[in-house]
Amino acid sequence: MQRMTFALLAALMAQPAAAASGPFFSLANTDFIVLISFILFLAVLFYFGVPKMIGGMLDKRAEGISAEIEEAKALQEEAKTLLAEYERKQQDVKVQAERIVAHAKEEAQLAADQAKADLEKSIARRLAAAEDQIASAEASAVKEVRDQAISVAIAAARDVIAKQMTATDGNKLIDAAIAEVDTKLH
């Protein structure tokens, strides 16, 4: 009510300079009619509680904005929590990846060492096989040379014996060989 009185006094104090002709408080004066219409309009607004409705709507809007701000703060806190959790998970994954890489390097080193040992064993086996082949070839060559030497010696002995032996000496040798075979077989 005080606001309406104040508005009425402010309107009455504001005298229009020369906007209308004649006395101000006359129905013929348009400024006076506008002033009365404005005061009635304000009175109707106050009577129906429009300022309270507008204030209530503004309060509701302020409460809505405040609730949205609180929700935004809660969402921000949740996002910070999620960010911290994902950063922690990222660190865990990074540590796990480093462990996997270290384990893979260890396994690769072990596999390389095993392959090296296997290669050394294979080389040793091949060297032993080659040495065996060389020894076998050497023994075979020595046997072949002996056999050849024996064959040559027998041929030479046959030639020498054939030149020096007579028929009676040959018969004596044959009889001696038969007797020797007979004693060894019985």
- Predicted confidence at residue 103, as pLDDT, reads 95
Structure tokens, 134:
């060389």
- Predicted confidence at residue 4, as pLDDT, reads 58
All residues at 6 or more sequence positions from 62 whose CB lies less than 8 Å from its CB, including other chains: none
Structure tokens, 178:
């038969």
- Predicted confidence at residue 1, as pLDDT, reads 59
Predicted confidence (pLDDT) per residue in 118-147, tens digit: 999 999 999 999 899 998 888 888 888 888
- Predicted confidence at residue 150, as pLDDT, reads 83
Predicted confidence (pLDDT) per residue in 67-107, tens digit: 999 999 999 999 999 999 999 999 999 999 999 999 999 99
- Predicted confidence at residue 5, as pLDDT, reads 63
How many Å apart are CA 185 and CA 177, to the nearest integer? 12
How many Å apart are CA 87 and CA 90, to the nearest integer? 5
Is residue 62 within 8 Å of residue 55, measured between CB atoms? no
Res. 155 pLDDT band, cuts 50 70 90: confident
Per-residue b or e along 140-161, where b marks 16 or more CB atoms closer than 10 Å to that residue's CB: eeeeeeeeeeeeeeeeeeeeee
Residue ranges per structural domain of the chain = 2-86, 115-185
- Predicted confidence at residue 18, as pLDDT, reads 46
Predicted confidence (pLDDT) per residue in 8-52, tens digit: 565 555 554 444 566 777 778 888 899 999 999 999 999 999 999
Q: Which pTM was predicted?
A: 0.39
